[in-house]
Amino acid sequence: MQVTLTGILVIAVALFLLGVDIPTQLSHRCVIQDIDQAQATLRSAELREHAMAAALGQTQSLTLAISRAKQIPPTLRLGQWLGEVSSLAAQHAMRHWTLQQQTPQCVGACIEQPVTLNAHGRFLDCLAFVQSLEAMPRLTRVQDLSITADPANDGVDLQLTASLYAKEAP
């Protein structure tokens, strides 16, 4: 089969009359492919931007959490802690409260100072007092807790053992 110039012209004229423009269709396909590729690139960029925003949000949250982290002072500073506890006891209407130090212990790179606290108050006040102790900026961990009803004195007796921590010995 021989392809002649006349045959090609006949085919081209027929396609033209039918409204088929081969170079235009090819260029449309290329443009559509370019648009599809640009849209895919844009989606990828949007996903990266979303991931970056999420990472920035997590970084800010972690930075805030670190700044609010419990503090472990270089020394025990038991007097300062006692003043804070005294203020909390008054705030939560704790009565007849006493504090007794136990023997400090080395725990890893820190010193742990256990203290026993006894107090009397209404149940909800005792609960709020314990929560306030644990919410102090300084790391104060309640190790043991006992609440006993005391109907004769209209309330409960609270006994707890808490631990304070310092980075070095006093």
Task: Give the model confidence (pLDDT) of 146-159 as tens digits.
Answer: 999 988 888 999 99
pLDDT computed for residue 34 by the predictor: 75
Contact assessment for residue 117 and residue 129, using Cβ atoms and an 8 Å cutoff: no
Q: Tell me the residue length of the chain.
A: 170
For 58-108, the pLDDT digits (tens) are 877 766 656 556 788 888 888 999 999 999 999 999 999 999 999 999 888
- Say if residue 141's pLDDT is above 80: yes
Of residues 13 and 79, which shows the higher confidence score?
79
Total-model pTM: 0.58
